[in-house]
Structure formats: structure tokens, C-alpha cells
Amino acid sequence: MHTETERCVRAVQSKDARFDGVFFTAVRTTRIYCRPSCPAVPPKPENMEFHPSAAACQRAGFRACKRCRPDTSPGSPEWNVRADAVARAVRLIQDGVVDREGVPGLARRLGWSARQIERQLLAELGAGPLALAR
């Protein structure tokens, strides 16, 4: 798969998560490698290289992207940081933290700002912490 350049470029430009783990994109100009679904702005096609594994990218002299964490394994908490943090927030909301301490209390427990919690919950679940508490 990683040798089919045109198909890989299309997957990166569309940020298609179905290709995560199938190949990795290394950017020649920045010396960084990413998953196909990385939220960063896609590089120009002429600056892309495709590798079959994260280890192959590292062997070629590239370092892992700090946004998409391509060096982590699927299922680990680092693989989908937002989903993991949202799950923790939901558990705390179900335990009544928002009712007792409000959204600032929830934010303190998670180590985030109240605005960040609001944004992450809206992106993942479509509702903020107060709506989930109700």
C-alpha cells in the first residue's frame, strides 16, 4: 500500500483515518512523520514520502509528529488523547463533580481549562459539561 503514491496522497489530503497504521507519511522538509489522519495541514505531495511503519520512518531519520502521535499503538491512551480525556470527564460528570464543584472544579480535576473541556466535549459528544450533567 505505501508504494501506491497517488492513493496515499489522496488519503493524507482527506485525512482518512481508515489508513492509520497501513502507512505513515514522512515530510522531507520538516523531517517529521505522521499518520494519514493527522489534523495538521497536509504537506505538498512533492514533499511526502510513504513508509510501511513508524520504525521505518525513524530509521530514515524522521521524528514523530506531536499532534497525531504516530509512534503510539492503537488502543493505548496516547493513540486518541481526546477520546480518553473525554471519557474521564464523562465519568467525573456522572459521579456528580459538576453538580458539586461546577465546571471549574471539573477543569481542575482534569488539569484543563473550562473552555478546553467545553470544546473537547462538544467535538466528541456534541454537548458541553452542563448539558451532560443534566
- The CATH number of the domain holding residue 11 is 3.40.10.10
Q: Compute the half-sphere exposure of residue 73: CA atoms within 13 Å on the CB side of its CA.
A: 2
Residue from 8, 34, 57, 68 carrying the catalytic annotation: 34
Residue 38 annotated to the active site: no
Residue 58 lies in a domain: yes
Work out how many domains the chain is built from and give that number: 2
Report whether 109 contacts 92 (CB < 8 A).
Answer: yes
Residue 21 lies in a domain: yes
Residue 74 lies in a domain: no
pLDDT of 69 = 85
Per-residue pLDDT of the chain (134 residues; tens, 9 = 90+): 556 889 999 999 999 988 988 999 999 999 999 999 998 999 999 999 999 998 999 999 999 998 888 887 665 555 566 677 888 888 999 988 888 999 998 888 888 888 988 888 888 888 888 888 88
The label of the residue with cell 514533499 reads 47
Q: Which domain holds residue 38?
A: 5-64
The H or E element containing residue 15 is none
Does one domain contain both 14 and 59?
yes
Does one domain contain both 44 and 86?
no
Quote the CA–CA distance of 131 and 122 in Å, as a whole number.
Answer: 10
Does one domain contain both 9 and 60?
yes
Give the pTM.
Answer: 0.59
Does one domain contain both 55 and 86?
no
Residue 71 lies in a domain: no
pLDDT of 81 = 65
Residue 127 lies in a domain: yes
pLDDT of 79 = 57
pLDDT of 121 = 87
Report whether 65 contacts 32 (CB < 8 A).
Answer: yes
Which phi and psi angles does 5 have, rounded to 5°?
-55, -50
| Torsion of the alpha carbons at 82, 83, 84 and 89, rounded to the nearest 10 | 90
